[in-house]
Amino acid sequence: MAADFASEAVDVVVIGAGPAGMSAATRAARAGLKTVLIDEQDAVGGQIYRAIGKADARRKEILGPDYAAGAAIAEGFAASGARHLTNASVWQVTRERGVNFLKDGKIGSFDAQRVILASGALERPFPIPGWTLPGVLTAGAAQILLKSAGEVPAAPPVLAGCGPLLYLLGWQYVRAGVPIRALVDTTRHEDRWRAKRHLLSALRAWPFLSKGLQLIRTLREAGVPIFEAADDLRVESRLGADRVEHAAALSFTTQGTAHRIEADVILLHQGVVPNTQFTQALRASHRWDDAQLCFTPNVDAWGELDVPGIFVAGDGAGIGGAQAAALQGTLAGLAAAAQLGAVERAKRDAEAAGLRRALADVTRIRPFLDSLYRPRDVNRIPRSETIVCRCEEVTAGELRKFVELGCVGPNQAKSFGRCGMGPCQGRMCGLTVTEVIADARQVSPAEVGYYRIRPPIKPLTLGELAGE
C-alpha cells in the first residue's frame, strides 16, 4: 500500500497551464491563497502557448503575434507567487477535491479547498479512411512539433479539413518558408450561406474576422493550391522502402471531380472540442451543445460545476479560444478567492463586470465560426469501413451492427466490441461513437450520452499506485 503518503493541504489547485490555468492561478495567488498549478509539460503555455518561455524571436515571428501574446500571461503567472508543479499528470480529481497526480514515477496528492480545471480542448476526431496511418497527424500535432521542437514536414504536406487552426498552421508554414502541397477545405458553400446569419455579430468582432481572412489570403498569395468543398476524403497508403505501410496520398472529390494529391504528411483538422475527461469522471452534469457538436459541462457564471468547489475555466467549458480562456481563468480564480474569503464580494463583482464585458467582446465571433466551420456530417459520422476507435480498431460498420443487436449507448459498445476501451480512454473516439449510435438509433446525441470515464484519467502502473 501507499507508504508514508500524505496529502498536502492547499487552498487552490489549478490543473492545466494554458491561458485559463495560468490566469486562474495568478488571480488566486494574488489574493494571497496558497495556489498550485499542476501541468504535464515542463513549462507553462499549454498547447496554444506551448514552449512560449523558450521561443526565440524568429520562432515568435513565424508563429505570429497571437502566440507571442502568451508571454505576458506567463510572466504574470511567474510573478504571482503561485507554485508550478511541472511534468505531473493528474490521474484523479475526487468530488471532495482531492487531486492525485503522478510525477517522476511517484504519486502525490493535494487536498484542495477549491479546484479549477483548465485542461482545455482536444482536436475533434476526424475519422476518415486511412486516418490511422503513420504520416497522418492532426494540424495541432504539427503545430506542437513546430512550437516545441522547431520541426516541420520533411516534404510538402497536405492540410485538410476546416477551422481557424488549420489556416493558422498554413499561415505559419508560409512564414517559415515551408512549402505546402495543398489546402483541402471541407467547408461548403452552403456552410458559408448558413454562417451569414451570424455575420452581423461577426462584423462587430471585425479584428477576429479580418485576421481569419488574412490567413487565407496569405496562403493564396503564396500560391498554395486550395481545394474547396472537398468531399469523400480518404488517405491512401503505400508500403515504404522500410516495409512499413505509410500515408501516401489524400484522395477526395470536389463537386464530383476526383482528386488525388500525393504527400507523406497529411494534417487533419476540423475544430476543437472540450476535454471533458475530468468533468465526466467527476460525474458533473453535461449537456449536448448542438452548435459546437460536443458535450459541455454545465457551469454557473463563474465556471463552477454542479460539484461544489470545482470550477472549469477555458475551452474545457465550451470552446471560446485563448483570449476567452484567460478571462474565464481570471473569473474562476476570483470566484474561488471570494468563496475562501480572500476577496470581498463587492470587489469580486466590480472586477467580474469588466472581465465579463471583455469576454463578451472576444466571444462575439463564435456563433459565426461555429456555423461556418461546422464539421460535415460524413466527417463525424463516417461510412462503415472507417475505423472509429483507433485503439481497438473498431469500425463505424461494426458499431452500427452493435446497434442492430441492441446496443443503445457508448458504454454498451464497450462490451459489444471493446470500442473505447483502449489506452486513449475514448479521447479519440468518444464523440464519434456517440454520434454514430445516435444516428443509427435516430435519437439525439444527448439521449445516447457519453462514455462513463473512470480514473485513472492518465495511466499509471500498479507499482506506482502502491508507491513502490
Partner 1 sequence: MTSQTIHTLFKPLPGEQGAAAIEIWFNDRPLTVAAGRSVAAALFAAGISRFRATPVSGAPRAPYCMMGACFECLVEIDGVPSRQSCMVEVKAGMRVRSQEGARDLPPAAPIDASLENAHGR
With CB under 8 A as the contact rule, the residue among 134, 223, 341, 354 that binds partner 1 is 134
> According to the binding rule CB under 8 A, does residue 262 interact with partner 1?
no
* Cell, residue 178: 515551408
- Rounded to whole angstroms, the Cα distance separating 193 from 233 reads 23
d(CA 160, CA 143): 14
If the CB atoms of residues 234 and 246 are measured against partner 1, the closer one turns out to be: 246
Amino acid at 206: W
Q: At its nearest, how many Å lie between partner 1 and the CB of residue 18? A: 11
Which string of DSSP letters, residue by residue, matches 256-320? TEEEEEE-S-EEEEE-EEE--HHHHHTT--EEEETTTTEEEE---TT-B-SSTTEEE-GGGGS--
CB 27 within 8 Å of CB 330: yes
How is residue 55 written as a grid cell?
A: 521561443
Binder to partner 1 among 136, 160, 182, 310 (CB under 8 A)? 136
Angle CA 293–395–284, to nearest 5: 40
Q: Is 39 in the site for partner 1 (CB under 8 A)?
A: no
| Cβ–Cβ under 8 Å, residues 238 and 246 | yes
Residue among 265, 284, 331, 338 that touches partner 1 (CB under 8 A):
265
Q: Which of 45, 140, 320, 333 binds partner 1 (CB under 8 A)?
A: 140
Q: Which position has the grid cell 510538402?
A: 156
Does 406 bind partner 1 (CB under 8 A)? Our answer is no
**Does the protein bind partner 1 through residue 56 (CB under 8 A)?**
yes
Beta bridge partners of 102: 89, 107
Per CB under 8 A, 358 contacts partner 1: no
- Of 153-172, binders to partner 1 (CB under 8 A) are 153-154
Residue 149 lies near partner 1 (rule: CB under 8 A): yes
Q: Does 372 bind partner 1 (CB under 8 A)?
A: no
Site residue total, partner 1 (CB under 8 A):
57
> Residue 99 and residue 1: Cα distance in Å, rounded?
18
- Which residue stretch of 135-143, 288-296, 353-361, 362-370 sits at the interface with partner 1 (rule: CB under 8 A)? 135-143
Q: Which is nearer to partner 1, 261 or 307 (CB)?
A: 261
* 3-state per-residue secondary structure call for 327-348: HHHHHHHHHHHHHCCCCCHHHH
Q: Is 146 in the site for partner 1 (CB under 8 A)?
A: yes
Cβ closest to partner 1, residue 219 vs residue 248: 248
Q: Does residue 8 bind partner 1 (CB under 8 A)? A: no
Binding residues among 72-131 for partner 1 as defined by CB under 8 A: 89, 122-123
Residues 323-342 that bind partner 1 (CB under 8 A): none
Euclidean distance between CA atoms 313 and 330, whole angstroms: 9
Site membership for partner 1, residue 421 (CB under 8 A):
no
Give the binding site for partner 1 (CB under 8 A). Answer: 40, 42, 47, 56, 58, 62, 89, 122-123, 132-138, 140-142, 144-146, 148-154, 176-178, 240-246, 264-265, 275, 390-394, 398, 417-418, 422-424, 427-428, 458-459
